[in-house]
Amino acid sequence: MSEALSDRVRAAIRDIPDFPKEGILFKDITPLLQNGPLFREVTEYFAQRCRDRKITKVVGIESRGFIFGAALAHELGVGLTLVRKPGKLPYESVGVSYDLEYGSDRVEMHVDGVDGEDRVVLVDDLLATGGTAGAAAKLIDRVGGRVVEALFVIELEFLRGRDRLGSLETHSLVRFE
């Protein structure tokens, strides 16, 4: 990875203290998205990682993963599938539940979103605890797809989300310790 790209992306991320609740330091990617050349460079960088991997589908995780996922799918010329929270998809869906520190959550996708022939890259803006990304990877596996790699713009290393993804190849542009 280009260290210069990582530095430019890091500089474009805005910290918002106490959002969405007190004690959280939110990493805001909207300045990156507002910078057309930088957004394009991130998309091209992700595409370059995928070009020789025979990717057939990009799966974007709700909600900011849709933004990067759509741009990447367009760049690669492949389809995009959305992984969403329960009850958000209009067609028949399949889902997987996963545990949180206090409770559980669930992600879903359309039954025809990925099939047994698909080689998938999973995309989101942020890797934190890894719960949602791990559940999305399990969901893709359950319907027969193969997750080749998970790509993130930001990784909060101190939350150890990569550990929750196990052996899944995982890459992030910017890491915060």
Q: Per-residue pLDDT tens for 43-85?
A: 999 999 999 999 999 999 999 999 999 999 999 999 999 999 9
Question: Is residue 10 one of the residues assigned to a domain?
Answer: no
pLDDT of residue 108: 98
Q: Which residues, other chains included, contact 144 with Cβ-Cβ below 8 Å and sequence gap of 6+?
A: 114, 115, 116, 118
Question: Is residue 23 one of the residues assigned to a domain?
Answer: no
Summarize the confidence of residues 159-173 as an average pLDDT. Answer: 95
CA pair distance 158, 5, nearest whole angstrom: 22
Instruction: With cut-offs at 50, 70 and 90, classify the pLDDT of residue 1.
Output: low
What pLDDT digit, counting tens, does each position of 107-116 carry? 999 999 999 9
Instruction: Name the domain count of the chain.
Output: 1
Question: Is residue 124 one of the residues assigned to a domain?
Answer: yes
Quote the strand ranges of the chain, DSSP E: 14-17, 25-28, 57-61, 79-83, 93-100, 103-110, 119-127, 146-156, 170-176
Q: Which amino acid is at 3?
A: E
pLDDT of residue 56: 98
pLDDT of residue 102: 77
What pLDDT digit, counting tens, does each position of 3-31 carry? 899 999 999 999 999 999 999 999 999 99
pLDDT of residue 44: 98
Of 42, 72, 45, the residue nearest 59 (C-alpha): 72
Question: Is residue 21 one of the residues assigned to a domain?
Answer: no
Question: Is residue 158 one of the residues assigned to a domain?
Answer: yes
Catalytic residue among 64, 84, 162, 164: 64
Question: Is residue 165 one of the residues assigned to a domain?
Answer: yes
Question: Is residue 56 one of the residues assigned to a domain?
Answer: yes
CA pair distance 2, 49, nearest whole angstrom: 12
Question: Is residue 43 one of the residues assigned to a domain?
Answer: no
Catalytic residue among 22, 92, 101, 177: 101
The whole-chain average pLDDT of the chain stands at: 96
101 is catalytic: yes
Residue % of the chain over a pLDDT of 90? 95
pLDDT of residue 78: 98
Task: Calculate the alpha carbon distances from 3 to 12, 75, 150 in Å.
Answer: 14, 22, 20
CA pair distance 164, 132, nearest whole angstrom: 10
- CATH number of the domain where residue 123 is located: 3.40.50.2020
Domain that holds residue 113: 52-176
